Structure 1
Amino acid sequence: MDTAIVLFTRDLRLHDNPALAAACAHARQVVPLFVVDPALNVPPNRARFLADSLAVLREELRERGGDLVIRKGDPVAETIRLATWTSAQTVFVAGDVSRYAARREQRLARECGRYRIALEVTPGHAVVPAGDLRPADGGGHYRIFTPYWRTWRTAAWRQPCQAPETVSVPAGIEPGDLPFPDRGSSAGLLPGGERAGRDRATAWLDGPLKAYGDERDLLASDETSRLSAYLRFGCVSPLALAQAALSRPGGEEFCRQLAWRDFFHQVTAAFPDIGTEDYRPSPHGPRNWAEDPDALDAWRAGRTGIPVVDAGMRQLTAEGFMHNRARMITASFLTRTLGIDWRHGYRHFRELLADGDVACNAGNWQWVAGTGNNPRPGRMLNPLRQAARFDHDGDYVRRYVPELASLAAPYIHTPWKLPTAHRKQLNYPDPLSA
């Protein structure tokens, strides 16, 4: 074919990008396109990470003779407008699972049909695409992780795509302006983009990965990859990351976490209301969630009086990221201890997490709250036991709750047990209770 459009969505990379690779293999000219959709109202941390990622993607495309065309508006209308202007024969886009993405794909298919433009939907957001694995009982999708993991681990994976050496863009296209980074983002937010993502992945795979199985839950050591935002925006290929991890010691356990990500993607594809409705409705009618605005505000601010919970919430505010174990602890405290609706927590995380992916964010919140895919829906995490196990010496709390930094263990996790005079000097609240 002569000309193709590649609509980038959250696959902001050149390496192992099936949509881009297919377009470059089959078209003489390729128009890489990203459309900023004002309807999405992207929160500050993700807006800055996105802006970084788009800037890097444009630079790397220009190094190969191409460019990244930026438009603002409805993604379907802007794609069709550019396709008709360039006489493109095909639009390539990576498939996705959120309700927004599914509707965008449906509308794009309809409009491409109207204008006699072919639409090619490629994989790329997961190691194993959402629809590729089906349970043997014909249930449509896997509802429990363990059988999914067994199938995922033995599935045939596609081969990664090479980055194109050159990208030829039709002459005369106005590239458009990159979005400006948001000034309201967290000071500790990591830089976005494929270069930073690949550098971080390489350094982590060659170093901390080997201890991942033993240390990934230790809050203070933070032996996690910190690649979640790079995966969320597609700056790093999940497939290439999984294949690289499996060739190294410690890779099996890390791949299990990547499989959790794929698991929630296939759940969301089957249940697109995962961010608003209980996946597992109560057989006794709507749950009786507590209405406690003051407790919810204290939780958001990291002022619950439970140090390990507050450390997690303050890490989120400071970095646009939270350690995965802390995510579970803080979510359990909100939903199980305080009895507050998981949707409040989901929305708060969505506003601050640079990796605020609908499927993983909502899937994990519902898992902890007992409304989702947890086979033991009554399970709850005791924050003090979690702190004793995963922050035994209190270093995680000291890092993010500085008013308690002078306390030794075990008081750093239970400051309310201090003598009254000492406790008042800390300027730290008494613990909330349900």
Structure 2
Amino acid sequence: MNVSVVLFTSDLRVHDHPPLRAALGRGHEVVPLFVRDPAVARAGHGAPNRDAFLADCLADLDTGLRERGGRLVVRSGDPVAEVGAVVREADADDVHMAAGCSGFSRRREDRLRRALEADGRRLYVHDAVVTALPTGAVTPDGSDHYAVFTPYFRRWSRERLREPLAAPRVVRTPRDIRSEDLPARTDVPTVSEGLADGGEQEGRRRLAAWLARGVDAYEEGHDDLAGDATSRLSPYLHFGAVSATEAVHRARSRGGAGAEAFVRQLCWRDFHHQVLAARPDAAADDYRTRHDHWRRGKEADADLRAWREGRTGYPVVDAAMRQLAHEGWMHNRGRLLTASFLTKTLYIDWREGARHFLDLLVDGDVANNQLNWQWMAGTGTDSRPNRVLNPVIQGKRYDPDGAYVRKWVPELAGLEGPAVHEPWKLPGLDRARYDYPDPMVELSDGLARFRQARGKDQGA
């Protein structure tokens, strides 16, 4: 019997998996392979929370494959070298994998294709595995990608998605292919205490529960910080434990305003992937430069440190940063306002914030993290690049009774109602009761500094 290798990357599932189904459809035995690439850590993209979640996903993927008669083979090293070694050990005809969008993943595909072709083998790269639509499926006239979300969303919404694929019933894997032991979450140090469990089984459970009970309230409640009315599916989408294509299909079948709003967020994910696929340098460079001269030096370093630690003196900012540290995840509204505060109010380089988020976020991928940061910094695709989110107004609007702040900033738990958003306004003796810093900068001063730096007398 002939053999194919299926190289898993950001698609750690057995349901709706085109590369796996294509390999099995050829009547081949299959070697399901995951390569732990040390270049990921060397490039600064390794993080304990993602390593721990990855360990859960790999264990769950191995379980799913074993239930079908197969198993996961794990190797460590350069992916091209390790895939080549497995191909030779199994005498495989071909390799199947999901298409990536980053410069890193594209270079890996190119290297692997050349190496396999030199050895008389073939590489099949499958689209719409990591994203709902292939990254280059829709393009505007005169450009290789959409730079504005709304027209992209209109086109994306009219496209026909491929149908989700059922999980295979049987996976036959050669017995004599060597595998390393699976990594374990317990072997990863300094993992956030509240990190969620990973894996396809958990992801599918959450998706089903979300569509059954949570999505209907999403349109009205997705910005409610204390209500926590988001799907929390982003880590499972990032690791491919949940298929974006299947999620869109199931949400559309559910129907309603909440499901439509959820699908729109899934489209944002595809949008950022197609931007990065066309402009891979946007992972580190301004997509649209504003010629910023970001603050540097000791004072800026101290401000950055206070922001990271959740000690800015603005309670909703600090609450969001502490949620990130505890859970390895942050509410989307919190991501927006903390990014605005760092880049617009403190006028510190968006790359510093993006790096800190990547150090902690379990869902931190290059496309969504970097391009969301650029959107908020005004160097990305936002049509209002100089908008500034006021953290006091944002706190009162999206955490009106202060429950989110009191949960994550326990120093202020004794303050009731919206007063928790402005503790510096308390009378002297009352203020002294709370071990919480005063604001590190006046919002008006930060806004004036930003406007001067950008040469714009506008904001929001």
| Fold similarity call, TM over 0.5 | yes
Please say if residues 58 and 68 of structure 1, whose CA atoms lie closer than 8 Å, have aligned partners that are also in contact. yes
Q: How does 1:10-409 map to 2 (within 5 A)?
A: 10-41=10-41, 42-123=46-127, 124-135=129-140, 137-181=141-185, 182-248=188-254, 249=256, 250-282=258-290, 286-291=291-296, 292-409=300-417
Using the TM superposition, name which of 125-134 and 416-425 deviates more. 416-425
Task: Supply the AA of the counterpart residue of 1:207.
Answer: R
Tell me the TM-score normalised to structure 2 length.
Answer: 0.92
Q: Which residue pairs with 1:8 in the alignment? A: 8
d(CA) in 2 for partners of 1:223, 1:279:
31
% identical aligned pairs: 52
d(CA) in 1 for partners of 2:95, 2:231:
34
Task: Supply the AA of the counterpart residue of 2:138.
Answer: L
d(CA) in 1 for partners of 2:103, 2:350:
19
d(CA) in 1 for partners of 2:274, 2:28:
35
Task: Supply the AA of the counterpart residue of 2:173.
Answer: V
- Residue 287 of structure 1: how far off its partner (Å): 1.0
d(CA) in 2 for partners of 1:27, 1:306:
60
The one of 415, 420, 428 equivalent to 1:412 is 420
Task: Supply the AA of the counterpart residue of 1:289.
Answer: W
Please say if residues 67 and 175 of structure 1, whose CA atoms lie closer than 8 Å, have aligned partners that are also in contact. no
Tell me the TM-score normalised to structure 1 length.
Answer: 0.98
Unaligned runs of 5+ in 1: none
Please say if residues 275 and 343 of structure 1, whose CA atoms lie closer than 8 Å, have aligned partners that are also in contact. no
Deviation by residue 1:383-434 (Cα, 9 ceiling, x = unmatched): 1111111100000101100110110123200000011222222110111114
Please say if residues 226 and 403 of structure 2, whose CA atoms lie closer than 8 Å, have aligned partners that are also in contact. yes
Deviation by residue 1:145-169 (Cα, 9 ceiling, x = unmatched): 0000000111111111111101101
Q: Which residue pairs with 2:451 in the alignment? A: none
Please say if residues 198 and 236 of structure 2, whose CA atoms lie closer than 8 Å, have aligned partners that are also in contact. yes
Please provide the CA RMSD for this pair: 1.0
d(CA) in 2 for partners of 1:304, 1:155:
45
Task: Supply the AA of the counterpart residue of 2:347.
Answer: G
User: Any idea what SS the aligned residue of 1:160 has?
Assistant: coil
Task: Supply the AA of the counterpart residue of 2:193.
Answer: A
Task: Supply the AA of the counterpart residue of 1:262.
Answer: D
Task: Supply the AA of the counterpart residue of 1:252.
Answer: E
Deviation by residue 1:88-136 (Cα, 9 ceiling, x = unmatched): 111000001112111111111111111111110012001111011111x
Task: Supply the AA of the counterpart residue of 2:28.
Answer: R
Deviation by residue 1:56-91 (Cα, 9 ceiling, x = unmatched): 100110111100000000111100111012111110
User: Any idea what SS the aligned residue of 1:199 has?
Assistant: helix
- Residue 247 of structure 1: how far off its partner (Å): 1.6
Task: Supply the AA of the counterpart residue of 2:225.
Answer: L
User: Any idea what SS the aligned residue of 1:16 has?
Assistant: coil
Q: Which residue pairs with 2:458 in the alignment? A: none
Task: Supply the AA of the counterpart residue of 2:10.
Answer: R
Please say if residues 275 and 346 of structure 1, whose CA atoms lie closer than 8 Å, have aligned partners that are also in contact. no
Consecutive aligned runs of 4 or more in structure 1 exceeding 3 Å deviation: none
- Residue 55 of structure 1: how far off its partner (Å): 0.4
- Residue 273 of structure 1: how far off its partner (Å): 1.6
- Residue 288 of structure 1: how far off its partner (Å): 1.2
Task: Supply the AA of the counterpart residue of 1:101.
Answer: S
User: Any idea what SS the aligned residue of 2:283 has?
Assistant: coil
Task: Supply the AA of the counterpart residue of 2:218.
Answer: Y
